[in-house]
Amino acid sequence: MHEMSLCESILGILNEQAEKEAFSRVDRVCLEVGPLSGVETDALRFGFDVVMRGSIAETARLEIVTPPAMAWCLPCGVNVPISERFDPCPECGSHQLQVTSGEELRIKELEVS
């Protein structure tokens, strides 16, 4: 499962940060997961629980924020909302779109103690 290895790399980052910034517990992890990132948030939550067990983030609360997927439409010259990567422009139907957001996959905030 892709989400499981993702959680393992998150834990790796947390451990690294813990060493650098000398904290011993993670209370909250806020992840930014774009709708185009290909990550299943249910699977991510499940993987998080499994992977964090016995770690510094065992009791951490997981928050997932999903930014809207947007693309720049060349003919319209504006940012338009999309729901899939290869969606046409909702305004003009053009496929000359360049995804500007929605592919995010990163730790947005950490609360530690």
Q: Write down the least CB distance from residue 80 to Zn ion, Å.
A: 6
Candidates 5, 59, 94, 100; binder of Zn ion (CB under 5 A) is 94
Helix (H) or strand (E) segment spanning residue 99: strand 97-101
Assess 91 for contact with Zn ion (CB under 5 A): yes
Choose, by CB under 5 A, the member of 56, 76, 99, 105 that binds Zn ion.
76
Q: How far is the CB of 66 from Zn ion (least distance, A)?
A: 23
Alpha-carbon span 6 to 12, nearest angstrom = 10
Show contacts with Zn ion in window 10-39 (CB under 5 A): none
CA angle 13, 15, 16 (to 5 degrees): 65
- Point out which span in 4-12, 18-26, 33-41, 71-79 binds Zn ion (CB under 5 A): 71-79
Beta strands in 23-74 (DSSP E): 26-33, 61-65, 70-73
